[in-house]
Amino acid sequence: MAYHFLEHTADEKFAAEGKTLEETFSFAAQAFKEAVCGKITVLEQETKPVEIKGDNLENLLYKFLEEFIFLLDSEDFLFSQVKDLKIDKEKFILTANITGDKGENYKFTNDVKAVTYNEMFVKFNKEKNIWECQAVLDV
């Protein structure tokens, strides 16, 4: 289980899958990080707790990925890992600890401006018995 990038005319598009919804969101976060700064290692110098509430699973994924843009833009915080990720699928609440470092210490490959709802989905694939998601990032 992991993530991979898909063909898109102008933006970054990826799909992620995992055995659990939490694993799938974690892989989506890693895909986001790779879209921003490639496959470099970001140090775990600081930890930030996050709690995100969505209206549905797609909105929760959108807000989760958008949190990384917010932290980078407002606090120059580039995340390294998502830890202790928990998702309440009934209330659409995500909690996690995000580790990372100052963005100024790294080179960026893309300026991710926004997460889009274009072609976004989060679903459970009953045939494969896995969770899947897809997102497009505006770069």
pLDDT in tens, 53-103: 999 999 999 999 999 999 999 999 999 999 999 999 999 999 999 999 999
User: In sequence order, what are the beta bridge partners of 3?
Assistant: 16
Q: Using 50, 70 and 90 to split pLDDT, how confident is the model at 4?
A: confident
Question: What tokens does 25 get?
Answer: 């969101």
Element (H, E) at 31: helix 21-37
- List the domains of the chain with CATH numbers: 3-138 (3.55.10.10)
Q: Taking residues 39-66, what's their average pLDDT?
A: 97
Q: How high is the mean pLDDT of the chain?
A: 94
Q: What does the pLDDT read at residue 9?
A: 67
Q: How far apart (Å, rounded) are the C-alpha atoms in residues 103 and 111?
A: 12
Q: Using 50, 70 and 90 to split pLDDT, how confident is the model at 139?
A: confident
Q: What are the E-state strand segments in 1-139?
A: 3-6, 12-18, 46-53, 77-88, 93-102, 114-125, 130-138
